[in-house]
Amino acid sequence: MANPVVTRAEVLEVAPEGAYHRLVLRAPEAAPRVRPGHFATLALGETSALLLRRAFAVLRADPAAGTLELVVAERGAGTRELVRTPVGATLSLIAPLGTPFPLPDGPVTALLVADGHGSAPLFALAERILERGGQVGFLLGAADAPGLYGVDRARALTRDVLVVTEDGSAGLAGHVTGPLAQAIEAIDADVVHACGPEPMLAAVTAAAAGHGLRCWTAVQTPMACGTGICMTCVLPVVGADGVSRFVRTCTEGPVFDGGRVRWADIGTVPDDLAGAAGMGGQL
Ligand SMILES: Cc1cc2nc3c(=O)[nH]c(=O)nc-3n(C[C@H](O)[C@H](O)[C@H](O)COP(=O)(O)OP(=O)(O)OC[C@H]3O[C@@H](n4cnc5c(N)ncnc54)[C@H](O)[C@@H]3O)c2cc1C
Ligand code: FES
């Protein structure tokens, strides 16, 4: 769990980046605390539709400048409001939240896999791995070319960047799981890190396991409080003791060892889950 601050963050920049917007926020107390994989939540209005804070992975934290950068896909009322926030306005921000990616002690070769804006937390992770003498490769996917985020950012970090789109409008045609084995073998990866929708994370975890590799997955499970209170964000996860429990993605996650998440049981209450006996199998 992070050591978050609640603060008013000034909007310094809102810039379109392809189909997304990149936001730069002044948050000098939060910035030094952020590690790759942490997320932030923003309060975006006072109407009932905007009551809940919205969660965003931190793209970049710059402690010297006292800034946080986020990448935002316009989806519903909250993100529509957010990308239209004028420069100079302030937003209520809580950051950093969640448990970040584990960082290796020494050099490792990591394959970083993302769907769409799922790449946001992976660039800072790549920088930390490179600083430790390791190597990275990226496998970036999306439904179509506009849905890709950060291909140029990835290419600035490594020449091992593979792009895949479902409609074939950029890179290879298909899902990220298609060329996954090829990407693992191309860089001789020791570990995989992935961020995106749950079915994709399940498939990437399984493919990594097929190569004997651990896959750290950053989930983006819809969440309400973001701070561990409401239990709306839970996933069934097998603990180190072998016992399955519901685990909060906002505090114990969003980063999990993908091999411990019971992907096929998400949305159900498995009968063997600690404390779940007799709940009838449905959430
Ligand atoms: C840990 C985490 C990291 C995320 N990182 C990013 C990111 O870097 N960039 C980005 O664009 N989006 C990210 N998301 C998704 C983002 O939070 C949702 O797109 C956003 O909350 C939608 O809000 P809305 O008001 O526009 O849409 P609405 O559909 O009106 O949202 C209604 C409610 O559903 C929740 N919700 C809806 N869709 C999602 C979703 N896909 N994931 C989580 N909650 C959802 C919202 O929090 C809100 O409470 C992340 C989500 C999580 C949990
Ligand atoms: S969102 Fe409330 S406990 Fe996770």
First CA to last CA across the chain, in angstroms? 26
pLDDT at 31: 98
Q: Tell me, what amino acid is at 85?
A: T
Other beta carbons within 10 Å of 278: 7
- Residue pair 36/124 in contact by the 8 Å Cβ criterion: yes
| Nearby residues of 90 by Cβ (< 8 Å), 6 or more positions away | 8, 9, 10, 11
Q: Report the interhelical angle of 180-187 vs 198-210 (nearest 10°).
A: 50
| C-beta of 229 in contact with ligand 2 (< 6 A) | yes
Place of tokens 């593979």: 162
Distance 98 CA to ligand 1 centre (A): 15
Ligand nearest to C-alpha 99: 1
pLDDT in tens, 57-87: 999 999 999 999 999 999 999 999 999 999 9
Distance 109 CA to ligand 2 centre (A): 33
Distance 75 CA to ligand 2 centre (A): 21
- Nearest CA owner, ligand 1 atom 21: 54
Strand 39-43 and strand 135-142: the pairing is unpaired
- Residue pair 40/97 in contact by the 8 Å Cβ criterion: yes
pLDDT at 276: 55
Atom of ligand 2 nearest to the CA of 223: 1
User: pLDDT below 70 — which residues of the chain?
Assistant: 1, 275-283
Distance 217 CA to ligand 2 centre (A): 18
pLDDT at 51: 87
- Which residue of 34, 47, 54 sits with most ligand 1 atoms within 8 Å of its CB, as the best mutation to test the pocket? 54
Ligand nearest to C-alpha 118: 1
pLDDT at 46: 77
Distance 220 CA to ligand 1 centre (A): 8
- Listed by start position, the domains of the chain span 5-97, 109-219, 234-282
Q: What is the CATH number of domain 109-219?
A: 3.40.50.80
Ligand nearest to C-alpha 233: 2
Q: How many residues does the chain have?
A: 283
- Residue pair 120/195 in contact by the 8 Å Cβ criterion: yes
- Residue pair 219/253 in contact by the 8 Å Cβ criterion: yes
pLDDT at 50: 86
User: Which class is 5-97 in CATH?
Assistant: mainly beta
pLDDT at 203: 96
Residue ranges lining ligand 1, Cβ < 6 Å: 39, 52, 54-57, 71-73, 75-79, 117, 120, 220-223, 254
* Residue 238, phi then psi, degrees to nearest 5: -85, 125
